[in-house]
A and B are shown apart, each in its own frame.
Chain A
Amino acid sequence: MKMNGAEIFVKALGDLGVDVVFGYPGGAVLHIYDELFKNTKVRHYLTRHEQGAVHMADGYARASGRTGVALVTSGPGATNTVTGIATAYMDSIPIVVFTGQVPTLMIGNDAFQEADIVGITRPCTKHNYLVKETKDLARIVKEAFFLASTGRPGPVLVDIPKDVLMNSAEYLLPKEVSVRGYHPNYEGHPKQVESAIRLLMEKERPVLYVGGGIILSSAASLLTEFARILGIPVTTTLMGMGAYPGTDPLNMGMLGMHGTYHANMAISHSDLILALGARFDDRVTGKIDEFAPHAKIIHVDIDPTSIQKNVPVDIPIVGDLKDVLKKMIKLVKGTKEAAQYREKIAPWREQIGKWARTHPLSYKKSAGKIKPQYVVEKIYEITKGDAIIATEVGQNQMWAAQFYKYDRPRTFLSSGGLGTMGYGFPAAIGAQVANPGKLVVDIAGDGSIQMNIQELATAVQYRLPVKVVILNNGVLGMVRQWQELFFQGKYSQTCLPQIPDFVKLAEAYGAAGFRATRTEEVAGVLKKGFAAKGPAFIDIVCDPNEMVYPMVPAGAPLTKMLLV
C-alpha cells in the first residue's frame, strides 16, 4: 500500500519502537506534525527551543540507554540544533535528529528557510543523510537508528525535504540493515586480551582508568566484578562517573584537572594503566609528555581512532568492553594467581590510602556564606545518592562530580567533551521523561541556567518534576577562577550583576521557587524543593569566591596540583 512520506516517517518511528520525540514544528515539517496529530504510538514533547529538544533527546538517551529523538523544521530550526548535536557527538551519545528541508527542487537556491544542515553538521555527526526520494525514507530512518546506537554511538541527522514528505511510495522497512562501509568490531582479540592480563599480573602498581565507554557499553557490573577479583584501584573520568560504585573503597574518584589528589598521584606513580573506554582527553592527562611516566598502557576501546591518538599504547585492544571484560574475568576468576595478585598489590592500595588521607577532597567551611560544596553534600545526603543528577558547566559541574557519589551508571549526566552551558536543565527534563518516578536534579550555575531557561515552560506543561538547584554565586565562576589564578584577578566580564530573581521567575512560569541565603537553611530548603509536586527552582545564594580544588593548571603535569 502506498503512503505519503510523512505517513511513512511516523509509521517507521512507531515500528522501530520510538515512543518519545522532542521537537518543535515549522513549515517544512507540517506534514509530519499532521501525521503526529493522528498518531497515538509516538508521544511528542513540545520544547521551547530546538537546542532544548536535542539536549532532551540526549538526556533521555544517557539516562535510559535508548536512542533519543528530536524533530525540527528547516533553516533556523535546523541550525538551532547544532550545539546539541555537537554536544552529543563529543560524548558519543546515541540520538537521531530529523530536520525538515525545503523541497528538493529548491535546494541550493537560497530558498526561504533553507540551510545546508547536512553540510553544517558533517563534522559533528557520526553520519548524516539527505533523503532524496520517498521510497528510501523508511530504510534511511532505520539505518539512522542502527548507526546511532551501535559501535561507538553518536548523533545521526536525517534531513527530509518537504516534497519527500508529500510524495507517495510503498512502505518498505527493511528487516535487517547493513551498511557495507560499517563494521564495528565487538570482539576483543583473545590473544591480545591474554597478553594484557599477563602484563597486568607482572606489575605492582596497577590502575583502572575508566571512562564513558563502560557506561555506553553497559559493562558497569562486569567492571565491578573484574576490579574486585584483582583488587585494583579505579579512577573514572568525568564521563565515567557511575561506571564504578562511588562508595566502593577501590574507587579513587575522578582524575585529571579537577581530579582527586590520590587519583592523580596514583596515575602518576602507576606502573600499569588499564584504560577502559576512556580517550586520554587533555583535561585528564595534563601535560601529555609527563602523563603516567612509569606506566605501561593497555587500552580497550571500540573505536580504533581513540587508541594511540594522544598517548602511545603498549597493548591495544579494539572491542566492546562487555566482551573484553568477560574474557578478562574468565582468565582470572577463581584462580590462585588472582588471590596472590590481590595480596601482592596490597602495599599499593595502602600507599593510595595514605595519599587519600593526607589530601582528601575538602573545602573551608564557614559559618557565614553558603559553600557550594556543602550544598552538593546535602543533596547527596537528602537523596541518599539515589537521584539522577544532571549538571550545567563550570564550577557547579566539578563540585557535582566531586561531592556526590554515583553508585550506578546513567545517573550522572554532564556535557564533558563540548562543555555546553545550558545542557543540564533540558537533559534533566529528558531524563525525567525516561524515568517518570525518579528524582531528577539539575545542579546548575546561575550563568548556565540562563542559557536554556525557557525549557521551564516545557517542564511545567508536561508536569515533569525536575528540580534545579542553582549554585548562585553571582559569577561565571569557572572562568573567574582562571582569571583569579592566571590573570591576576582581573575579572573581565565574569560578574553577573543582572541575575533574575529565580524564585519569582519560577513562579512566573508556573513552577515553584525556593531560596536559601544562609547555611542553616540549605537542608530545609532542599527538602522542601524536592518534595514540591512539580518542577522547582531552588536558588542557593553561594560564596562567589569559592574555587574548585584540586586543580592542575592547563599544561602542567598531574602531580602539580593546586590544593585547598
Chain B
Amino acid sequence: MRHTISVFVENEFGVLSRVSGLFSGRGFNIESLSVAETMDESVSRMTIVTSGNDQIIEQILKQLNKLISVIKVVDLTGVETVDRELVLVKVNADPETKAEVLRLVDIFRAKIVDVAPRCYTVEMTGDEAKVKAFLQLLRPVGIKEVVRTGLVSIARGM
C-alpha cells in the first residue's frame, strides 16, 4: 500500500543522503521526496511517498526513527490531509494549439508564467489526481518539458 510520511529532520548537510541512503540500502522504494526548511530554521521537513506491505512500512517508519538526525516521523496515511504538488509544464503554443492551452489553464486554475514565441510555461498546483489529469489533457497539445516538486502533505484541522 502507498504511504505518505512526514519526516522532521535536523537541517544540516548530509541528512538527505542519510534518509535516501536508508531507502536504497534497505531496498525500500521512494516514489517522491520533497524537502525544505520549516518555521524553525534548524528543522527541515520531508514528505516521502513510499509503498510496501504493512511489514515493510513498519520497518521504514522504525528505521527512519532510528536515524539520529531524524527528530520525528509521522505517517499521514489514514489521516485527513491536504496534498499538493506543483508542476511546471512547457507546452507548444502554436496558433492552432494556443486556444486549447488557455482553455485548460482556465479550467484547472493554472497560470501561464512565461511566454515565448511558440511556447508557454504553465504552473499548476493540485493533488495527484489533478496533476495527472492536467498532464494527460495537455499531452495531445505537445508537452516539451515537465518538472514536478513531488507531493507535500499536511494534516487537516488542528
Pick from A174-182, A429-437, A450-458 the stretch touching chain B.
Answer: A174-182
Let me know if A303 and B66 touch, CB within 8 A: yes
Measured between beta carbons, the chain A residues less than 8 angstroms from B21 are 122-123
Asked if A118 lies at the interface with its beta carbon under 8 angstroms from chain B, I say yes
Asked if B62 lies at the interface with its beta carbon under 8 angstroms from chain A, I say yes
| 0/1 interface trace, chain B 4-29, chain A, CB 8 Å (1 if under) | 00000110011001100100010000
Measured between beta carbons, the chain A residues less than 8 angstroms from B17 are 119, 122
Asked if A342 lies at the interface with its beta carbon under 8 angstroms from chain B, I say no
Asked if A130 lies at the interface with its beta carbon under 8 angstroms from chain B, I say yes
Measured between beta carbons, the chain B residues less than 8 angstroms from A303 are 66
Q: Which of A118, A179, A182 has the most CB of B within 10 A?
A: A182
Asked if A147 lies at the interface with its beta carbon under 8 angstroms from chain B, I say yes
| 0/1 interface trace, chain A 180-198, chain B, CB 8 Å (1 if under) | 1110000000000000000
A182 CA to B70 CA, complexed, in Å:
8
Measured between beta carbons, the chain B residues less than 8 angstroms from A180 are 10, 71
| 0/1 interface trace, chain A 71-109, chain B, CB 8 Å (1 if under) | 000000000000000000000000000000000000000
Let me know if A147 and B68 touch, CB within 8 A: yes
| 0/1 interface trace, chain B 27-60, chain A, CB 8 Å (1 if under) | 0000000000000000000000000000100110
Measured between beta carbons, the chain B residues less than 8 angstroms from A123 are 21, 25
Asked if B149 lies at the interface with its beta carbon under 8 angstroms from chain A, I say no
Size bracket of the B interface: 20 to 34
Let me know if B68 and A179 touch, CB within 8 A: yes
Q: Which of B10, B13, B25, B68 has the most CB of A within 10 A?
A: B68
Distance between A164 CB and nearest chain B CB, rounded to angstroms: 15
Of the residues A147, A182, A304, contact of B62 by C-beta under 8 Å: A304
Let me know if B69 and A305 touch, CB within 8 A: no
Distance between B72 CB and nearest chain A CB, rounded to angstroms: 8
Asked if B97 lies at the interface with its beta carbon under 8 angstroms from chain A, I say no
A182 CA to B71 CA, complexed, in Å:
8
Contacts of A154-209 to chain B: CB distance below 8 A: 179-182
Distance between B14 CB and nearest chain A CB, rounded to angstroms: 7
Let me know if B14 and A118 touch, CB within 8 A: yes
Let me know if B55 and A308 touch, CB within 8 A: yes
Measured between beta carbons, the chain A residues less than 8 angstroms from B58 are 308
Let me know if A181 and B68 touch, CB within 8 A: yes
Let me know if A181 and B59 touch, CB within 8 A: no
Measured between beta carbons, the chain B residues less than 8 angstroms from A118 are 14
A119 CA to B15 CA, complexed, in Å:
11
> How many residues of chain A are within 8 Å of chain B by beta carbon?
18
Asked if A126 lies at the interface with its beta carbon under 8 angstroms from chain B, I say yes
Asked if A528 lies at the interface with its beta carbon under 8 angstroms from chain B, I say no
Measured between beta carbons, the chain A residues less than 8 angstroms from B66 are 303-305
Let me know if A122 and B68 touch, CB within 8 A: no
Identity of the chain B residue whose Cβ is nearest the Cβ of A118 in the assembled complex = B14
Asked if B77 lies at the interface with its beta carbon under 8 angstroms from chain A, I say no
Asked if B67 lies at the interface with its beta carbon under 8 angstroms from chain A, I say yes
Asked if A127 lies at the interface with its beta carbon under 8 angstroms from chain B, I say yes
Identity of the chain A residue whose Cβ is nearest the Cβ of B65 in the assembled complex = A304
Let me know if B71 and A181 touch, CB within 8 A: yes
Measured between beta carbons, the chain B residues less than 8 angstroms from A127 are 68-69
A305 in contact with B59 given A118-B14, A122-B17, A122-B18 (CB within 8 Å):
yes
Distance between B125 CB and nearest chain A CB, rounded to angstroms: 31
Identity of the chain B residue whose Cβ is nearest the Cβ of A179 in the assembled complex = B68
Identity of the chain B residue whose Cβ is nearest the Cβ of A119 in the assembled complex = B17
A50 CA to B63 CA, complexed, in Å:
30
Asked if A2 lies at the interface with its beta carbon under 8 angstroms from chain B, I say no
Asked if A357 lies at the interface with its beta carbon under 8 angstroms from chain B, I say no
A147 CA to B9 CA, complexed, in Å:
17
Identity of the chain B residue whose Cβ is nearest the Cβ of A309 in the assembled complex = B59
A130 in contact with B14 given A179-B68, A182-B68, A305-B63 (CB within 8 Å):
yes
Contacts of B60-84 to chain A: CB distance below 8 A: 62-63, 65-72
A122 CA to B14 CA, complexed, in Å:
10
Let me know if A305 and B18 touch, CB within 8 A: no
Measured between beta carbons, the chain B residues less than 8 angstroms from A147 are 68
Identity of the chain A residue whose Cβ is nearest the Cβ of B8 in the assembled complex = A181
Distance between B4 CB and nearest chain A CB, rounded to angstroms: 21
What are 27 A-to-B residue pairs whose CB atoms are below 8 Å? A118-B14, A119-B17, A122-B14, A122-B18, A123-B21, A123-B25, A126-B68, A127-B69, A130-B13, A180-B10, A181-B9, A181-B10, A181-B67, A181-B68, A181-B69, A181-B70, A181-B72, A182-B68, A304-B62, A304-B65, A305-B59, A305-B62, A305-B66, A308-B55, A308-B58, A308-B59, A309-B59
Top 3 nearest A-B pairs (CB, nearest first) are: A127-B68, A305-B62, A181-B71
Additional A-B contacts beyond A180-B71, A305-B59, A305-B63 (15; CB < 8 A):
A118-B14, A119-B17, A122-B18, A122-B21, A127-B69, A147-B68, A179-B68, A181-B10, A181-B69, A181-B70, A304-B62, A304-B66, A305-B66, A308-B58, A308-B59
